[in-house]
């Protein structure tokens, strides 16, 4: 049959998002969502939103939201860019900061699997840097690539490993390339590089409301950097969609980011559950990588990653398993509420009995 697809549409390998099965109610620990609801201030804003205002386009500059983000992050609003989830911002980074047929983008072999998808889509060369045996990133190896710029997820996904800020700063200070820091999981680590954006013009920090602000469903992310980098993103945005952040989202996220106390408390609960979960998993024979995120990456001595993933799914618990070299013995488990984590641990002890 004749196909009307372009060569690109027929040949790309798109990103695979975590599964969202609807056949029954699962304990859902596979897409790193926050187990707690968004803040009451965000809910009040949502509830009081004037529905009839939806007839108008949203503010294309997301002024109030950018001001709220700027206030919370200690930067100026002109240094903030907002997008429809941090995925969209990361996507815009590729045409904004990398030349097709240039020296390409450098990133780890085990990191957020959207980066290679974006490279392929925009025709940007991939400089893949293998992680060390302990899953840490070697800055020496990163420096050794000829790439035009570098992407680092900090904390990394799916390993959960965080890089201390002084190590990152040393790398950024010594580099004349753009360093894009994907801080999706920073609320569970607390060593943001945002202050470095005032000192260095080669660093862009990308953050999200999806994880630390319990707002994955509303799709909002933001980037912070010097004015020239933000302008690059604005130019790319206006080549695709001038209104990526809708009005409801702008209002709700501005209220959420102002509710520092609420999120500090809830994210501290996630961090303490992470410690408990890691200890319990180790007791039952798992090797657990040191996590600075809202998930743990664990492999079992006796059962394969696939067996654990499938056994848990049969028992109504969803986790993520990546069928990829180096990490196929692991499963990535989102830290849930205490009850969800107990459900996971019970299902695991059932699987490990055999």
**Residue of 34, 39, 86, 334 interacting with ligand PMP (CB under 6 A):** 86
- Binding segment (CB under 6 A) for ligand PMP, from list 85-93, 121-129, 252-260, 301-309: 85-93
Q: Which of 41, 78, 54 is nearest to 223 (CA)?
A: 78
| Residue 112 found at the interface with ligand PMP (CB under 6 A) | yes
- Taking CB under 6 A as the rule, which mask of x and - marks residues 240-269 in contact with ligand PMP? ------------------------------
The stretches of 12-127 forming alpha helices (DSSP H) are 40-47, 63-73, 86-97, 114-122
Q: In the complex, what is the shortest distance from the CB of residue 181 to ligand PMP, in angstroms, rounded to a whole number?
A: 10
Question: CB neighbours (10 Å) of residue 214?
Answer: 22
Give the nearer residue to ligand PMP in terms of CB position, either 216 or 248.
216
| C-alpha triplet 104, 177, 69: angle, nearest 5° | 105
Q: How many residues bind ligand PMP (CB under 6 A)?
A: 12
Burial of 94 (C-beta count, 10 Å sphere; 0-12/13-18/19+)? buried
What sign does the CA torsion over 143, 149, 154, 159 have? negative
Token pair 């840097």 is at which residue? 129
Whole-number Å distance between alpha carbons of 233 and 243: 13
**Residue of 38, 85, 116, 225 interacting with ligand PMP (CB under 6 A):** 85
| Residue 221 found at the interface with ligand PMP (CB under 6 A) | yes
Give the nearer residue to ligand PMP in terms of CB position, either 216 or 352.
216
Whole-number Å distance between alpha carbons of 330 and 334: 13
Interface of this chain with ligand PMP, residues 167 to 196, rule: CB under 6 A: 182, 184
Q: In the complex, what is the shortest distance from the CB of residue 20 to ligand PMP, in angstroms, rounded to a whole number?
A: 13
**Residue of 72, 128, 165, 216 interacting with ligand PMP (CB under 6 A):** 216
Q: In the complex, what is the shortest distance from the CB of residue 87 to ligand PMP, in angstroms, rounded to a whole number?
A: 3
| Residue 208 found at the interface with ligand PMP (CB under 6 A) | yes
Whole-number Å distance between alpha carbons of 142 and 157: 17
**Residues whose CB falls within 8 Å of the CB of residue 174, separated by 6 or more in sequence, listed in order:** 143
Whole-number Å distance between alpha carbons of 308 and 293: 21
**Residue of 129, 153, 249, 348 interacting with ligand PMP (CB under 6 A):** 153
Q: In the complex, what is the shortest distance from the CB of residue 314 to ligand PMP, in angstroms, rounded to a whole number?
A: 25
Residues that bind ligand PMP (CB under 6 A): 85-87, 112, 153, 157, 182, 184, 208, 210, 216, 221
């Amino acid at each position: 049959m004749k196909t009307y697809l372009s060569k690109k549409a027929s040949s790309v390998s798109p990103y695979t998002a975590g599964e969202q099965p609807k056949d029954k109610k699962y304990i859902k620990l596979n897409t790193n969502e926050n187990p707690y609801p968004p803040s009451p201030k965000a809910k009040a804003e949502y509830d009081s939103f004037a529905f009839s205002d939806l007839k108008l386009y949203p503010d294309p500059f997301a002024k109030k939201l950018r001001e709220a983000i700027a206030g919370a992050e200690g930067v100026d609003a002109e240094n903030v860019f907002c997008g429809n989830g941090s995925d969209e911002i990361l996507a815009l980074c590729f045409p904004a900061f990398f030349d097709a047929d240039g020296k390409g983008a450098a990133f780890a072999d085990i990191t957020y699997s959207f980066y290679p998808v974006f490279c392929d889509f925009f025709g940007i060369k991939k400089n893949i840097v293998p992680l060390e045996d302990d899953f840490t990133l070697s800055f020496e190896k990163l420096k050794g690539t000829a790439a035009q710029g570098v992407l680092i997820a900090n904390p990394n996904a799916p390993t959960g490993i965080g890089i201390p800020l002084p190590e990152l700063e040393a790398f950024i200070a010594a580099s004349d390339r753009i360093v894009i820091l994907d801080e999706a999981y920073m609320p569970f680590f607390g060593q943001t590089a945002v202050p470095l954006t005032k000192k260095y013009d080669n660093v862009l920090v990308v953050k999200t409301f999806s994880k630390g602000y319990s707002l994955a469903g509303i799709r909002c992310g933001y980037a912070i950097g010097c004015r020239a980098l933000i302008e690059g993103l604005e130019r790319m945005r206006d080549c695709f969609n001038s209104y990526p952040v809708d009005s409801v989202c702008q209002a709700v996220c501005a209220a959420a980011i102002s509710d520092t106390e609420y999120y500090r408390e809830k994210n501290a609960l996630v961090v303490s559950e992470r410690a408990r979960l890691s200890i319990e998993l180790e007791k039952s024979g798992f090797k657990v990588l040191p996590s600075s995120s809202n998930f743990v990456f664990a492999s079992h001595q006796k059962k394969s990653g696939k067996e654990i993933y499938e056994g848990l799914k049969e028992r109504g618990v969803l986790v993520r398993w990546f069928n990829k070299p180096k990490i196929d013995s692991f499963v990535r488990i989102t830290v849930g509420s205490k009850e969800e984590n107990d459900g996971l641990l019970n299902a695991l002890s059932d699987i490990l009995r055999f």
